Amino acid sequence: MHPYDEVTWEKRTAAIANEKGETVFEQTDCEMPSFWSQMATNVVVSKYFRGALGTPRRETSVKQMISRVVDTIAGWGREGGYFATEADAQAFQDELCHLILHQKMSFNSPVWFNLGVAASKPQASACFINSVDDTMDSILTLAKTEGMLFKYGSGTGTNLSTIRSATESLAGGGTASGPVSFMKGFDAFAGVIKSGGTTRRAAKMVILNADHPDIEEFVTCKVNEERKAWTLIEGGYDSSFTGEAYASVFFQNSNNSVRVTDEFMRAVAEDRDWHLYAVTDRSRIIKTVKARELMRLMAESAWQCGDPGIQYDTTINDWHTSATSGRINASNPCFPADARVHTTAGLIPFGDLFERAFAGEKFHVYTHRATADAPGTGVLATQPLAIMRTGVKPVVRLTFSTGEQLRCTPSHRIWTVNRGFVAANELTPNDRVMTCNAGAAVADRTLVASGAPLGAAVPQAPLSESELQEATVQMVSREGDGVEVVYNLTEPVHHSYIVDGFLVANCSEYMYLDDTSCNLASINVTRFLNDDGSIDIDGYRHAVHVTITAQEILVSNASYPTEKIAKNSEEFRPLGLGYANLGALLMARGVPYDSPQGRDLAACLTAVLTGEAYAQSARVAREIGPFNGYAANRRPMLRVIGKHREAAYNIPADGIEPELIAAARHAWDEAHELGARHGYRNAQATVLAPTGCLTPDSLVATSRGLVRLRSLGNPSGAKWQDLDVEVATHEGPRKATKF
């Protein structure tokens, strides 16, 4: 039986009124499932039915809307080889239809806006993280990219810390205007370009690092605009969020967040100084503030207007599944000034290379084909995209079995034959580190220290496999070696270059969350609540499997606004499955939202969701192959999956049904086991948007009319109090017997 034949259908009118009671949208004779609420009817018809209102092209039934999306995804799945048989494909199609029809799952808005409409490769992702460089061309390109994303219903996020501060000089003279000034332009575009061509507001996030010189202006910018709005409201202007008061001030279309490190939080705890560094020269301190005062400024601003939020950089990177491809929005690893770079002009110390490049001299550096997308042998000379001085950082000295030494920052990655790129602070004596100079490769393993052209020092013909085996050394010691000004460069072809005879990773042009997209979906956890209050674990797990498969199919069949985002989305294939209605589920089970039992139940539901998502991703990888960047990131990804597995085993079992605890642990056992064997199809599988519970002052629709939730009983009284009232639900009026 088709899912549509399992439910009763009825015709309804969808209507939406504004604050004044005036009808702003109406569509009659809409075919809806009888168990859908009027609110669901109004939202779906007004936002997601496609076609011009009043024309034959306008959708009139939920069947049309669901089929438009489900049939498109299933068709792409057949073409992509995701199903072994046609019966499997049809089963997937019916199950996906069932999940959506019964409100067990929903995709993000761009899927409903764009799939099955004219474009052959529609925009399907709701989340895009865009990078920006410190150039006018890049800043204006970002404005255009964001505008096009808003047009098709997506949201964006950008870390503006790469833009020089308002205290730094411009190359042509004068002073830069700083990132906050450009935020006004970005905000204006977001305000006038409605999401997906509807009346939904654009979704935008802006981030600034806590050590940016303009951080104080960034923290207070929204509060200052909020105060202007309050003044206008006091003067009689409309106070609604779409009214004249808020339309007249800046920064109302974005959420602002400050990115902080553990070091910043320690500085706050210890009431230490906090340095703000120049963007153009990370070794130069622009200003010093008290960390605690900056934190208080952030807290006071958030109290007044809700922004800024905080992102914890250190924690984010500790759980980063693609760490080999670069840290997430963090500073790059580097080398001290005396480290020598192998160039076609000879061995040049990094400090000299930077000064000469700054003066306009052009260089070619050597990269090795071992780090290419299709690994090979031999070296290649390429022109760096950038040579930069990146700040003042701790340096370590590595000593190898031949007596050779390399000085670099602890996080800089060095190429090994056995493990690929490995950070300097993670090298072990068992790693076979490749050396790439003539002394190591064909002579007595001594470093070439002359300034003669490297053509005589590095073999130009590809090295044989036996020569590569000989050109390896082992680390014998690692020790701290002070704090120095450090440098780095970006090699564009194989993303590596040679320093003092060692093959190393370059300044990563790709920071996992930058220039990527994420298509989202949410599972409605209340739909998996049995009558006795237990969780339908098997149904919940199966919903995850079906949804992750559908989201994965979308990746290669969607369009992307820039070449970078398209490339990285294919390379890493990040997905964002989450859940909704956690607060309602806890309320239905009589569990306080902020309680140990509530948190443990949330942990179990999240563990099952995420573990099953990665397990399904591994199953897809078994049949189709892992994401392109997996080979380089296998070790860090399995490390993070292992951390999740350990966390699942540490969820307290008190007050949680044993079956749910077992399901959480089993999900991560399977995710780790399958991933270790087959890899993962997706570098990221889940994204959980914050959801909340009702407050005591929330209005509840009951048979007594709209009443405050707290008035139905005594919030300070017994856990279960008798209640005799009907409340409105998505299934219609239901009797509530307990408070």
List active site positions: 332, 334, 509
- Residue 501, phi-psi category: left (phi > 0), alpha (psi -120 to 50), beta (remainder): left
Residue 258 near residue 218 (C-beta atoms within 8 A): yes
Tokens of 363: 């260089």
Decide if 194 contacts 200 (C-beta within 8 A). Answer: yes
- The residues near 464 (Cβ < 8 Å, ≥ 6 apart) are 377
Q: Report yes or no: 168 and 176 within 8 Å, Cβ to Cβ.
A: yes
* Residue found by looking up tokens 């380089």 in the block: 632
Report the C-alpha gap between 627 and 621 in whole angstroms: 8
Residue 157 forms beta bridges with which residues?
A: 129, 205
Residue 211 is inside which H or E element, if any?
none
Per the structure block, which two tokens stand in for 418? 């056995």
| Burial category of 99 from C-beta neighbours within 10 Å (exposed 0-12, middle 13-18, buried 19 and up) | buried
Q: Nearest to residue 517, comparing CAs of 569, 563, 470, 595?
A: 569
Cα torsion 193, 194, 197, 200 to 10°: value is 170
Whole-angstrom distance, CA of residue 256 vs CA of residue 309 = 6
Per the CB < 8 A criterion, the answer to whether 292 and 300 are in contact is no
E-only strand ranges, 295-404: 309-312, 335-336, 340-343, 346-349, 365-368, 379-382, 386-400
Question: In degrees, to the nearest 5, what angle opens at C-alpha 255 toward C-alphas 206 and 204?
Answer: 65
How far from the centroid of its chain's Cα atoms is residue 229's Cα?
32
* Residue 324 φ/ψ, nearest 5 degrees: -65, -30
d(CA 331, CA 317): 12
CA distance 204 to 155: 5
CB count in 10 Å sphere of residue 303: 9
Count of CB atoms within 10 A of residue 355's CB? 14
Could you please report the per-residue DSSP string of 665-707?
A: HHHHHHHHHHHHHH--S-S--B---------TT-EEEETTEEE
**CA 87 from centroid of its chain's CA atoms:** 35
End-to-end CA distance of the chain: 40
Instruction: Give the span between the Cα atoms of 628 and 626, in whole angstroms.
Output: 6
